[in-house]
Amino acid sequence: MADDLAQRLAAWRHHLHAHPELSRAEQETAAFICARLDEMGIPYAAGVGGHGVVATLTRGGSNRAVGLRADMDALPIPEATGKPYASRHPGVMHACGHDGHTASLLGAALLLRDDPDWRGQVHLVFQPAEEGFNGAHAMIADGLFRRFPMERIFGYHNWPGLEAGTVMVHSGPVMAGAANFEITFTGRAGHAAMPHLCRDPVQGVAQTILAANAIIARNLPPGEAGVISTCTLRAGEARNQVPERAAMGGTIRAFSAATMALLKQRLEETARGNAAALGLEAEIWLGGGLEPTVNAPAEAELAAAAARAAGLPLRRDLPPTMGAEDFGRFLAEIPGAYAWIGNGPSAGLHSPEYDYNDEILPVAARFLAAAARAALG
């Protein structure tokens, strides 16, 4: 059974990997999931929050319910793995392992379907649009927790560099919340040889980038983490003209809503202060927020107990990451826990050379199934 499960999950993942679809365009991925659920005889609802699929397993004798979640979208990254099952869609690949997450949740469905020793309901949540397009928000807005009531929810992410098959469960923050920013300075254009006749917006950008680096160091306690990273710059076309406008954009990361609010406030104050000092106007946009992914205490212990019950190596010692995940939106609604499962020595997430490790597919399926059993008690 173990060898058969591993082979089946690998074949499913390879199909998904070869046919990746971007956020909000996961039609064929959803159809593949539904076809496998049909083969298993597991009822489901499709089209939840876009292309989301929610399947439900029921065993009589208990009114308790738990959710298990996997994401299913790919990234706009050209693949460079050279694998025989590499992406057939130019410029699109599963560079974050969502193909493996989906296949392993289907594997957990198989394990739970064939296991008579649990009672209650397990909702299998196949989520679209995780990669920056708020798929979790869309599923909730479409009535996820009203239509499929559940007490808790669990999920995982494969983790390159962590020993293959090892389960890491955090107590508290796992991944950061994220917000985006765009700041546009408007001044007065003119000849670069006569800057005294201009109002230079490039100086506004330059001073704000430097000042943003100090916001973290001088506003957060030394033991508290936060990030403000400027990642895009736009200004001018001619090398001998001071442009009228210059813009900077990037991301803000923090492990708590309070810290996120503080960093947003200080960045806006800094930009407006620099604009005033330089005679510029500043237009500031702050948005695209993702909640931090923070494990609830009881659910973190249930996840750790599930890993032990499944006979899997367990760690509790790694620090959280400033990477973001919209699983935090689910955790803002109901308690739950999010684990990492080691992918072994592999290319990093979002790398053109990244590939999910087939060897951890049955491990992840066993962990998810064990988390459901532990939550149902």
Q: What is the CATH number of the domain that holds 187?
A: 3.30.70.360
pTM of the model: 0.94
SS3 content of the chain, % helix, strand, coil (to 5): 35, 30, 35
189/110 same-domain check: no
Half-sphere exposure of 96 (CA within 13 A, CB side): 25
pLDDT of residue 102: 99
Number of Cα atoms under 13 Å in the Cβ half of residue 377: 9
Burial of 108 (0-12, 13-18, 19+ CB in 10 A): buried
Exposure string over 15-50, b if 16+ CB within 10 A, otherwise e: bbbbbbbbbbbbeebbebbbebbeebebebbeebbb
Domain CATH for 25: 3.40.630.10
Indicate the residue among 258, 290, 322 that finishes a domain.
290
pLDDT tens, the chain, 377 aa long: 578 999 999 999 999 999 999 999 999 999 999 999 999 999 999 999 999 999 999 999 999 999 999 999 999 999 999 999 999 999 999 999 999 999 999 999 999 999 999 999 999 999 999 999 999 999 999 999 999 999 999 999 999 999 999 999 999 999 999 999 999 999 999 999 999 999 999 999 999 999 999 999 999 999 899 999 999 999 999 999 999 999 999 999 999 999 999 999 999 999 999 999 999 999 999 987 899 999 999 999 999 999 999 999 999 999 999 999 999 999 999 999 999 999 999 999 999 999 999 999 999 999 999 999 999 99
- Whether 158 and 192 map to the same domain: the answer is no
Q: Where are the alpha helices (DSSP H) in the chain?
A: 2-18, 27-40, 98-113, 135-141, 144-147, 201-219, 257-278, 297-309, 327-331, 361-376
Q: Is the dihedral of CA 257, 259, 261, 263 positive or negative?
A: negative
- Is residue 12 domain-shared with residue 128, that is, in the same domain? yes
Domain co-membership, 31 together with 166: yes
Domain boundary among 243, 268, 290: 290
Looking at 226, 256, 290, which one is the last position of a domain?
Answer: 290
Query: Could you give the number of structural domains in the chain?
Result: 2
Q: Are residues 42 and 128 in the same domain?
A: yes
Q: Are 162 and 168 in contact (CB under 8 A)?
A: yes
What pLDDT score does 54 carry? 99
Clarify whether residues 6 and 51 are in a common domain. yes
The pLDDT, as a whole number, for residue 3 is 83
Q: Are residues 246 and 165 in the same domain?
A: no
pLDDT at res. 288: 74
- Using alpha carbons, list the distances in angstroms from residue 343 to 31, 165, 194: 27, 7, 57
One domain for residues 90 and 21: yes
Do both 90 and 13 map to the same domain? Answer: yes
Same structural domain for residues 241 and 311? Answer: no
196 and 57 in one domain?
no
Instruction: Please give the residue range of the domain that contains residue 317.
Output: 2-172+295-376
For residues 299 and 157, membership in a common domain is answered with yes
Say what the pLDDT of residue 1 is: 54
